[in-house]
Amino acid sequence: MPKPKEVILGVTGSIAAYKACEIINRLKKRRVEVTAVMTKDAEEFITPLTLQALSANRVVRDLFALPENVNPVHISLAERADLTLIAPATANIIAKLSSGIADDTLTCLCLSTRAPIVICPAMNEKMFKHKITQENIARLKAAGYHFIGPEKGHLVCGERGIGHLADVDQIVAQTLKILK
């Protein structure tokens, strides 16, 4: 039996972080291993325990936690990953990745991996349409990053606009397509 594919799911500080639960469930049903990496801001919206229970894997939160082996955690994750999926991806994480900033586990992992990276933006429409955010997205696309969404939908501010996290079915379907 072939080794299951492994997706590293980056979860960042967005209200849409709760949708990571459904992404994990749907990937697991398709026999994909999922390991979650959370930013500190993500923990304001969802608990590591929830993601650990759903993924059946330890949630990685601290770049400086002692690794289980001699490899630093971000390197071992980068080597194991068949794909890194960041859902939801805030304007902050997109800007960090575009600038090469590596100040947490998720950004270090993204700079270390040779696996495809898929980014699913979720933010206010004004932030998404901002010239700098659009330049950051264009720069990441030029570097080979994949993007899914965002969609037009209900935003936390009460308005409707572009910036709503893409539909979970679409995220999972495109992730599986890129994995093949």
pLDDT of residue 85: 98
In the prediction, which pLDDT does 159 show?
85
Distance CA 67, CA 65 (A): 6
Return per-residue pLDDT of the chain as tens, 180 residues.
778 899 999 999 999 999 999 999 999 999 999 999 999 999 999 999 999 999 999 999 876 665 555 556 666 776 788 999 999 999 999 999 999 999 999 999 999 999 999 999 999 999 999 999 999 999 999 999 999 999 998 888 888 999 999 999 999 999 999 998
* Strand 160-164 with 151-154, pairing: antiparallel
Q: By the 8 A CB rule, do 122 and 153 touch?
A: no
Q: Are strands 83-89 and 146-147 parallel, antiparallel or unpaired?
A: unpaired
Distance from C-alpha of 33 to C-alpha of 16, rounded to nearest angstrom: 21
pLDDT in the model for residue 68: 59
- Residue 120 annotated among the catalytic residues of the structure: no
In order of start, what are the domains of the chain with their CATH numbers? Answer: 6-179 (3.40.50.1950)
